[in-house]
Structure 1
């Protein structure tokens, strides 16, 4: 399968391009970016071609991997689907429910496969843990703390305009939801509040009867940054195990998942429809936090 990369920012340089170059079953056919000079530089680093015209790239590949801000991703994902390209997308799928729904509808109408790259979800240890806990059941409550130091360190993502605008809820919130939802079931936010420093607290009610709390931040002190997911229930207490697997390896797994979905026609659990559901939950939590509403 020929795959093209849309995007030339830090995430594309650190994860997408290296993973696509390493993948033995994908032909890394080209790069397009909003800055032609950056696309040329990234393409040269990985021995592929830079495209000035995104539609020209879409017309010559089977798959696109997207490493762009959510609003740009959503627009180009619709164009890519209509060009017949399978979609390897990033989280969040889109910044609004309407834009996310447009991506899902385009994928359904054209029959292309889709996978949204929730980094933690595609780590081997996490996948196994989720499967085990979902089979165990009987969970009463859960907590997820996803504390980043993006704005309190020398992170390459600190200058990201969309992260500045949307904050931790939309940046690290999808990671927490991607772990909790397959274990506890679908959810709706029943409370959300902004805390000092851009931290967000969310309370979720899950279909299976459990509740969960999310604490999300991009402004944690570097020494306090990290992710914790804890489940409590009839089986006792369990924590999401730490993983030494990097994002590049996880992205290779996501690419393999997309290849399988395209080959078999069976949707992956982290397809665009799941990405849309995550977007719907984030939008509802955002509205609650903005209104200061507790219900």
Structure 2
């Protein structure tokens, strides 16, 4: 772990909810995941369950009706709403959520596009932390006008974009910029971008970080979904205190990057431990089983 990563780790550790029995249910995090489709039921499950394994009290999945029973069958720990109409006309169902993930397994139908724009509009209005992942990144790249909506949003709105290389290239072309730094500037600092790869490169307006700790050497679907759930939760943890704690970069920017460093580091460690055990047979559900252990290691004093 580099000196920079260790600084972020200390900063993050100061904001982890204590396990002293004094908190009420939901206080450590209520995370919503909007996604899923008939074809893709694993993605929203991985995102929501990683938030639970990462320290959240409650995870909610809003998904199509034909995916709900399948996702429910994966775990009794998730609260699953069948049908995107459960969000409400103005996304009133999200009012109690501390952070939102949109995109895992969402698909690319016209209705899915409407759901994405509805959730984005709500997050901008409410100032709720939003993680835009997977298919939601595709919709963003197809609607460049949404870049302006994000850039011109009121103070207090914060969004993460979590592209892999192909998704990042698509976003840069849509935004007519040449680099991740330029895209962050175009979005007027409202977004933190995590470019996933052999190294996870985290870019905000004022703070940057690279995470190169060991990760699985086999790339399978679901690893990015695990990251998205942790990211939403840890952003809530880092931003919930006022005034904001001091740390690398300070202020909102520093806190958002610290959350991203923690989410990336824990995801990479969980996938690496699962890969060592399963090698060629490694799948994302194996990594999910190591998330809690990776969190414990990351927040320990050692």
TM-score by length of 1: 0.44
More strand by share: 1
TM score, norm. by length of structure 2: 0.43
Structure with higher Rg: it is 1
